[in-house]
Amino acid sequence: MKNAKLIKTKGVATRLFLLYRIEVRAINPRNLLIKLAHCKGAAKRRIVQLFEQEGMYEEALHLTPQTLATRLFIPPKNYSTFIEDYQSISTESLLNYYKNRNIHLITIIDSHYPTYLKHIFDPPPVLFCQGDISLLKNIRNLSVVGTRHASKYGCDLVQYFVTHLAKQKFTIISGLALGIDAKAHWTAIEENSKTIAVIAGGFDHIYPKENMELAKIIQKEHLLLSEHPPYKRPEKWMFPMRNRIISGLSLGTFVAQASKRSGSLITAQHALEQGRIVFSPPVPLFDPLFQGNIQLLKEGAALALSPDEIIEELKPMYEEK
C-alpha cells in the first residue's frame, strides 16, 4: 500500500523509478534482451556484442541504465530517450501483449534461435515471429530472391526450380516483395512445401499492400518473421538489412532474376560474406532484366542449370547435420 500511495503522490520520475525497481527484481538475461530491443537508440549490433562478452549475461542484469547506455555506446542525442525507455518499459507487459497476439519472440540466447543466422556478422538480438516457429529448426533452407519487375521467363524459372526443390522438402525463404519473391512464396505454398517470409518493418505494417493476402496465409500456415517490433513502419534502410536475414537463414541463395540495380544483389552479397553459396540460372545474355545475374556469374556465382545441381551442391551441408 505504501508503494501505491507513493506512486500517486510523486511525479512521473518516481513512477518510472518504481517500475524500474520492480522490473529489475524480475528480469533475466532473456528479458533484458527483449527490453533492450524495444529501447530507442540501442543499435542491434551493440546489444549482441554486449551479450557476446564473457560473463556479461549475469553482469548486465545489475548494471544501471546509465552504465548500460555507456556499454551500448548510445549517442548523446539518444541518451535521455534510451534511459526513459529502459526505465518505463515493462518486459512482463510486453510478453503478455505478444502472447495475446500470437507473436513469438526468439532471442539470440534461446536454444531454438536459428544456428545459421546466429553465426552471421550481425545477427538480430530478437526475432519477432508469427506462425510455425518450428520452421526455424529447419536446415534444408534455400533463399529465392529477385527483381520486383519479374518477366515471364523469370517467373517460369522460379516455378520450375521451387517446384522441384519443394519435392525435396526445402524450405523456401524470401522477402515478401512483389515479383520474384511473391512467386517463390506462392509456388512453395502451392507445392505443399514450407516458406518463410522476412519483412522489413513490423507486422502491423505489411509491405507491399498487394501481398497482404499472401502474408496472412504465411502467418497462419508458414512463418512470418521480422527483427522489428510490430509497430515499426518499414523504412528504406530496413530493406537491405532485412536481406542479411534472408541469406543468413539459408544454406544458399538462388537469384532467379536480377537487373543491375536489383536489391536481390544485396542479398547475394550478404550470402557471399556469410560464406553461403549463390546460385544463378542460365539467363539471356543481352536482356537488361538479367544483367545482375550476368555480373554474379562473372564474380563466381554457381551456375545452376537445374534444381538437381543446387541439391547436389547443398546436400553435404544438410546431410551431415
Q: What is the DSSP string of 255-318?
A: EEE--TT-THHHHHHHHHHTT-EEEE----TT-GGGHHHHHHHHTTPEE-SSHHHHHHHHHHHH
Grid cell at residue 154: 523469370
Domains and CATH numbers, the chain: 2-100 (no CATH), 115-319 (3.40.50.450)
Please give the average pLDDT of every successive group of 10 residues along the chain, which has 321 residues. Answer: 35 38 59 93 90 67 87 92 93 95 95 93 96 95 96 97 96 98 98 97 96 97 97 95 97 96 93 96 91 94 97 89 54
Query: What pLDDT shows up at residue 142?
Result: 98
Name residue 257's beta-bridge partners: 146
Query: What pLDDT shows up at residue 321?
Result: 54
Query: What pLDDT shows up at residue 318?
Result: 85
Query: What pLDDT shows up at residue 12?
Result: 36
Query: What pLDDT shows up at residue 145?
Result: 98
Provide the whole-model pTM: 0.88
Measured distance CA(178)–CA(95) in Å, rounded: 32
Given a contact cutoff of 8 angstroms between Cβ atoms, the answer to whether 41 and 82 are in contact is: yes
Given a contact cutoff of 8 angstroms between Cβ atoms, the answer to whether 126 and 34 are in contact is: yes
